[in-house]
Every structure is written in structure tokens, then in C-alpha cells.
Amino acid sequence: MDTISSSSAVTNSAVPKAVLNAVNGRSAGRSAEDQAGAAAAAGAVAAAGAPGAAPEAGAAGLGEALGGAAGALSKSTGAPGSTKSAADMQSTFMKLLTTEMKNQDPTNPMDSSQMTSQLAQINTVSGIAGLNTTLSSLATQLNATQQVSASALIGKSVLANGNGIQVAAGKASAFGMQLTAPASAVKVTVVDAGGHPVRSMALESKETGMTPLSWDGKDDTGKTVADGSYTFKVSASNGADPVSATALSQSKVNSIVQQPNGTAGLMLGNGATTSLSSVAQIL
């Protein structure tokens, strides 16, 4: 059995010439991946009518071969770099099917159940391709809507992932924490720019979720700290088991940006970019 290449077409004297022409005609000008798929399809059809094949195979053998051709074309369509569309593949399949029906043995016609199964397979492939296109379009529209909605946050302050605290005129900015499980003991430590602890606070038991925190701007001796930037750390436990805690800090939303995954992101005043899902509270 010969195979299709960029310079030759499939030929087999035992296979109706119209069937081979249908496959070879579709492979002209195709990429290597598409030609490989067409070669597999033609090979499958040719196998049914090859010399030495059982006589009873007849049109039934061609029917099975056509099923194999559909699978081969489907794999070619899904191959990386392939330019064949679902509609193009369906057109090729239908051309093969109608050619097979025209050249079937009148005394041993093709099995209608096989034809129905083959049509169902090709329609499923086409339906999935169309569904993927529709979902992709919906995702793009939703992301665009999300960016428009997020623009309402510009100029507002939010609590998002971060551990910074700003002290101005002796007053500390808002901050908080997010617990993944209930905690029976929580400790918050405020650290200055030099890395020295200035205030430690032990909190009562806290439930799962976001908890706002506050600091009066004084150190452990009761003295008001200098204005500037500070950071804080949170450690939590439930009995002997540690509990994961995420630090949240206040920051102003300066603008809305599109993130690499296409969703809306918030450009914060501290220079960080965060997703909308990371915003724990709008202040």
C-alpha cells in the first residue's frame, strides 16, 4: 500500500478510484500533519480493498475502514500546528462516505448501523470544536465585563495580600489576617524597618476566614512609635496544631490591569498587582 507524501498520492488498484481521489484531493496543499492524517485515512480505506482481503469484507470492510479514516482525520485535526478545522474535517469525511456509498457492492451493501455510528462520531467532534469556540468567546466577554466592573474600585482602599503597615501622625493603617481554620491562639508581631519587633499582641480565639486587626501605634512600653513603614507577622495554632494565616494589608487601588490569564487585576499603591479574588475587604 502506498502512502500520501508531499510529492505523491495514494493509489491502489483494489480500491475504487473515486475513493482515493476524494482523499488525495483533500490533501493537496496541506501541512505535514494534515497530509499524515489524510494518508492514514486513505490507508484505512485501501486496506479494506487490498489484494488478499476476504471477499465477504466488501462494503462492510470499507465501512470499517471509513470509521478508521474518521479517527485518523480527528487525530490530524487535534495535532499541534494543524490548520485543519472541524468543518474541513467533516467535509472530508462526508466526501469519503458518499464516495463509498456510490461504489458499494449492490449484493453486499454497507451496514446502515455503521454509517450511523460514523456520522455520530464526526458530529461529536464538530460539536466539541464548536463548544470550545463558544466557551472561549464567553470567557473573553466575561473578562471584559469584569474589568469594567473592577474600575469602580479605582481610588478606593482595599485589604489584600500583604504585610505592610503605614503609621502617620501616630495612627496605623488598617490590616488583617485570613485563617484557613479556627485558631485557639493567635499572635501578631509588628516589626520596624530595621527588623526589630516593636509590638506583640496576643489575640483570643478566632474563627475561619478574614479577621480585621488594629494597632494603636504604640510599642510594648506604651510609647508612640515614629511615623513610617512597618511590617507584621501572624502565627496561629489550634491546640498543638498550627493554622495557616495569610497577612492582609491596606492599599489604595491605582488602576485596573489585564493579567496574563486575561482576568482583571488591581494595581495597588504599594506597587503590587493582585487579583480581584485576593481582595478580602473594601474599605
Task: From 247, 86, 53, select the one nearest 163 (Cα to Cα).
Answer: 247
Give residue-wise pLDDT tens across range 155-202.
899 999 999 999 999 899 999 999 999 999 999 999 999 999 999 999
CA Rg, the chain, in Å? 34
pTM of this prediction exceeds 0.85: no
pLDDT more than 70, % of the chain: 69
Q: Model confidence over 42-54: pLDDT tens digits?
A: 554 444 444 444 4
- Confidence check: pLDDT of 24 > 60: no
pLDDT for the residue numbered 178: 93
Q: What nine digits make up the cell of 44?
A: 484505512
User: Tell me, what's the pLDDT at 33?
Assistant: 47
Q: What is the CATH number of domain 152-282?
A: 2.60.40.4070
Q: State the average pLDDT for the chain.
A: 74
Q: How far apart are CA 50 and CA 58, in angstroms?
A: 10
Of residues 125 and 3, more confidently modeled: 125
Query: Does the structure show a pLDDT above 90 at 204?
Result: no
In three-state form (DSSP H/G/I as H, E/B as E, the rest C), the secondary structure along the chain is: CCCCECCECCCCCCCCHHHHHHHHHHHCCCCHHHHHHHHHHHHHHHHHCCCCCCCCCHHHHHHHHHHHHHHHHHHHHHCCCCCCCHHHHHHHHHHHHHHHHHCCCCCCCCCHHHHHHHHHHHHHHHHHHHHHHHHHHHHHHHHHHHHHHHHHHCCCEEEEECCEEEEECCEECCEEEEECCCECEEEEEEECCCCCEEEEEEECCECCEEEEECCCCECCCCCECCCEEEEEEEEEEECCEEECEEEEEEEEEEEEEECCCCCEEEEECCCCEEEHHHCCEEC
- The yes-or-no verdict on residue 253 having pLDDT over 50 is yes
CATH 2.60.40.4070 in the chain, residues?
Answer: 152-282
CA distance 173 to 155: 16
The pLDDT of residue 85 is: 63
